[in-house]
Structure 1
Amino acid sequence: MANSDLKEPIDVAEYLFKRLHQVGIRSIHGVPGDYNLVALDYIPKTGLRWVGNVNELNAGYAADGYARIKGMSAIVTTFGVGELSAVNALAGAYSEYVPIVHIVGYPSTISQRNGMLLHHTLGNGDFTVFEKISSNISCAMAMVNDANSAASLIDHAVKECWLKSRPVYISLPTDMVQKKVEGARLKEPLDLSFPANEEEKEDYVVSVVLKYLKEAKNPVVLVDACAIRHRALDETHAFIKKSGLPVFVTPMGKGAIDETLPNYGGVYAGDGSNKGVSERVQASDLVLSIGAIKSDFNTAGFTYRVSQLNTIDFHSYMVKVKYSEYSGVRMNGVLKKVTEQLGTLSPEMGSYTPNNDIPSKESSSTDPTITQAWFWPRLGQFLEKSDIVITETGTSNFGIWETRFPKDVQAISQVLWGSIGYATGSCQGAALAAKELGIKRTILFTGDGSFQLTAQELSTMLRNDLNPIIFVICNDGYTIERYIHGWEASYNDVQTWKYKDLPKAFGARDEQIRTYAVKTKEEVEKLFGDKDFKDQESKCLRFVELYMDKEDAPAALKLTAEASAKNNAKLE
Structure 2
Amino acid sequence: MKPATTTLGSYLATRLEQIGIRHYFAVPGDYNLVLLDQLLENENLEFIGCCNELNLGYACDGYARANGVAAGFVTFSVGGLSAINAIAGAYAEDLPIIFVSGGPNTNAGPENRPLHHTLGEVRYRYQLEMFREVTAYAASIEHLEDAPEKIDRAIHVALRHRKPVYLEIACNLAGLDLPAAPNQQLAAPVPLDEAALDAAVENAAERLNNAVKPVLVAGVKLRPWDATKEFLELAEATGYAVAVMPNAKGLFPENHPQYIGTYWGPVSSPGCGEVVESADAYLFAGPTFTDYTTAGYTALINSNKLLEAGPERVKLPGQSYNNVPLPLFLGKLAGRMKKNDTSLTAFERFRPAPEQEEDIVADRPLLTRRVVKRVEKMLTPDMALIAETGDSWFNGIKTKLPEGTAFEIQMQYGSIGWSVGATLGYALAERGKRRVVSLIGDGSFQLTAQEVSTIIRYGLDPIIFLINNRGYTIEVEIHDGPYNLIKNWDYAGLIDVFNAEDGKGWGVRVSTEGELDAAIAKALAHTGGPSLIELTIDRDDCSKELLEWGSRVAAVNGAPPKLG
TM-score (norm 1): 0.93
Measured after TM superposition, the shift of residue 129 of structure 1 is 0.8
1:407-446 correspondence to structure 2 within 5 Å:
407-435=403-431, 438-446=432-440
Tell me what 1:284 maps to. 279
Moved more, 438-447 or 58-67: 438-447
Measured after TM superposition, the shift of residue 187 of structure 1 is 2.1
Tell me what 1:491 maps to. 483
Tell me what 2:506 maps to. 514
Give ranges in structure 1 of 5+ residues lacking alignment: none
Q: Aligned pair 1:533/2:523, yes or no?
A: yes
Cα distance in 2, alignment partners of residues 321 and 25 from structure 1: 38
- Cα offsets for 1:42-75 (capped at 9, x unmatched): 2232221111000000000111011001001011
Measured after TM superposition, the shift of residue 30 of structure 1 is 2.1
Cα distance in 2, alignment partners of residues 356 and 296 from structure 1: 31
Cα distance in 2, alignment partners of residues 77 and 12 from structure 1: 16
Measured after TM superposition, the shift of residue 96 of structure 1 is 1.4
> Does the 8 Å contact 1:356/1:402 carry over to 2?
no
RMSD: 2.1
Cα distance in 2, alignment partners of residues 366 and 112 from structure 1: 68
Q: Judging changes above 3 Å, is the alpha-carbon distance between structure 1 residues 153 and 364 closer, same or farther for their aligned structure 2 residues?
A: closer
> Does the 8 Å contact 1:266/1:353 carry over to 2?
no
The 3-state SS of whatever aligns with 2:139 is strand
1:10-25 correspondence to structure 2 within 5 Å:
10-25=6-21
Q: Which amino acid aligns with 1:433?
A: A
Q: Judging changes above 3 Å, is the alpha-carbon distance between structure 1 residues 447 and 463 closer, same or farther for their aligned structure 2 residues?
A: same
1:98-497 correspondence to structure 2 within 5 Å:
98-183=95-180, 185-190=181-186, 192-349=187-344, 350-351=347-348, 352-353=350-351, 357=355, 368-435=364-431, 438-486=432-480, 489-497=481-489
Tell me what 1:560 maps to. 549
User: Once the two structures are aligned, what percentage of the paired residues are identical?
Assistant: 32
Cα distance in 2, alignment partners of residues 136 and 366 from structure 1: 53
Cα distance in 2, alignment partners of residues 484 and 358 from structure 1: 32
Measured after TM superposition, the shift of residue 219 of structure 1 is 1.4
Measured after TM superposition, the shift of residue 566 of structure 1 is 1.8
> Does the 8 Å contact 1:64/1:429 carry over to 2?
yes
- Cα offsets for 1:149-200 (capped at 9, x unmatched): 21111111111111111110011111221233321x422232x242341112
Q: Judging changes above 3 Å, is the alpha-carbon distance between structure 1 residues 516 and 181 closer, same or farther for their aligned structure 2 residues?
A: same
Q: Aligned pair 1:65/2:57, yes or no?
A: no
Tell me what 1:93 maps to. 90
> Does the 8 Å contact 2:264/2:294 carry over to 1?
yes
> Does the 8 Å contact 1:84/1:130 carry over to 2?
yes
> Does the 8 Å contact 1:355/1:403 carry over to 2?
no
Cα distance in 1, alignment partners of residues 166 and 12 from structure 2: 13
> Does the 8 Å contact 2:241/2:341 carry over to 1?
no
Tell me what 1:37 maps to. 33
Q: Judging changes above 3 Å, is the alpha-carbon distance between structure 1 residues 120 and 355 closer, same or farther for their aligned structure 2 residues?
A: farther
Give ranges in structure 2 of 5+ residues lacking alignment: none
In the alignment of these two chains, the number of paired residues is: 557
Tell me what 1:548 maps to. 537
> Does the 8 Å contact 2:205/2:337 carry over to 1?
yes
Cα distance in 2, alignment partners of residues 239 and 113 from structure 1: 59
Moved more, 142-151 or 274-283: 142-151
> Does the 8 Å contact 1:357/1:378 carry over to 2?
no
> Does the 8 Å contact 2:91/2:134 carry over to 1?
yes
> Does the 8 Å contact 2:63/2:429 carry over to 1?
yes
> Hey, which bits of structure 1, 4+ residues long, moved more than 6 A?
362-367
> Does the 8 Å contact 2:77/2:118 carry over to 1?
yes
Q: Which amino acid aligns with 2:252?
A: I
Q: Judging changes above 3 Å, is the alpha-carbon distance between structure 1 residues 6 and 309 closer, same or farther for their aligned structure 2 residues?
A: farther
Measured after TM superposition, the shift of residue 366 of structure 1 is 11
The 3-state SS of whatever aligns with 2:223 is helix
Q: Which amino acid aligns with 2:445?
A: F
- Cα offsets for 1:456-511 (capped at 9, x unmatched): 0011101111110011001111111111222xx43211111111111110125687
